Amino acid sequence: MPETKVKKDEDFNEWYNEIVELAELCDKRYPIKGMNVWRPYGWSIMQNIDNLIREEMSRTGHLEVYFPLLIPESLFKKEEEHIEGFSSEVFWVTHAGENPLEEKWLLRPTSETAMYPIFSLWIRSHSDLPLKTFQIVNTFRYETKQTRAFIRVREIHFFEAHTCHKDFEDAEKQIKEDLEIAERFFQKLSLPYILNKRPEWDKFAGAYYTISIDVMMPSGRTLQLGSIHQYRDNFARPYNIIYEDINGDHKYCHQTTYGMSERILGAIIGIHGDNRGIILPPAVAPIQIVIIPIIFKGKEEIVENKCKKIKEILDKIGLRTLIDSRDITPGSKYYDWELKGVPLRLEIGPKDVENKQVTAVRRDNFEKIQVKENEIKEIIPEILGLISKNLFDKAKKLLDNNIKKFENIEDAKNKTGIIQLPWCGREDCALKMEEELDVKTLGTPFMEEQCNLNCPICGEKAKNWVRLAKTY
Ligand code: ZN
Beta bridge partners of 404: 419
Could you give the CA distance from residue 387 to residue 402 in angstroms, rounded to a whole number?
23
CB 157 within 8 A of CB 362: no
Residue 201 gets which letter from DSSP? G
User: What distance in angstroms lies between residue 433's CA and the mean position of ligand 1's atoms?
Assistant: 10
CB 150 within 8 A of CB 266: yes
The helix or strand, by DSSP H or E, that contains position 275, with its residue range, turns out to be: none
User: What distance in angstroms lies between residue 197's CA and the mean position of ligand 1's atoms?
Assistant: 18
Residue 454 to residues 196, 358, 408, 438, Cα–Cα distance (Å): 21, 61, 9, 21
Instruction: List, for residues 402-439, the tens digit of each pLDDT value.
Output: 999 999 999 999 999 999 999 999 999 999 999 999 99
109 preceded by a cis bond (ω within 30 of 0): no
User: What distance in angstroms lies between residue 210's CA and the mean position of ligand 1's atoms?
Assistant: 22
Instruction: List, for residues 214-224, the tens digit of each pLDDT value.
Output: 999 999 999 99
Residue 116 phi/psi, 5-degree rounding, is -70, -35
User: What distance in angstroms lies between residue 407's CA and the mean position of ligand 1's atoms?
Assistant: 13
User: What distance in angstroms lies between residue 157's CA and the mean position of ligand 1's atoms?
Assistant: 39
**pTM recorded for the entire structure:** 0.96
User: What distance in angstroms lies between residue 420's CA and the mean position of ligand 1's atoms?
Assistant: 14
- 471 burial type by CB count under 10 A (0-12 exposed, 13-18 middle, 19+ buried): middle
User: What distance in angstroms lies between residue 454's CA and the mean position of ligand 1's atoms?
Assistant: 8
What is the model's pLDDT at position 84? 78
User: What distance in angstroms lies between residue 423's CA and the mean position of ligand 1's atoms?
Assistant: 6
CB half-sphere exposure, 44, CA atoms < 13 A: 14
User: What distance in angstroms lies between residue 231's CA and the mean position of ligand 1's atoms?
Assistant: 28
User: What distance in angstroms lies between residue 431's CA and the mean position of ligand 1's atoms?
Assistant: 10
Average confidence (pLDDT) over 48-64: 98
What is the model's pLDDT at position 1? 62
Instruction: List, for residues 127-171, the tens digit of each pLDDT value.
Output: 999 999 999 999 999 988 899 999 999 999 999 999 999 999 999
List the shell of residues around ion ligand 1, using CB closer than 5 Å: 424, 426, 429, 455, 457-458
CB 340 within 8 A of CB 24: yes
User: What distance in angstroms lies between residue 430's CA and the mean position of ligand 1's atoms?
Assistant: 7
Q: Which of 431, 455, 398 has its CA nearest to residue 222?
A: 398
Domains of the chain, each with CATH number or no CATH: 12-272 (3.30.930.10), 289-384 (3.40.50.800), 403-469 (3.30.110.30)
User: What distance in angstroms lies between residue 200's CA and the mean position of ligand 1's atoms?
Assistant: 15
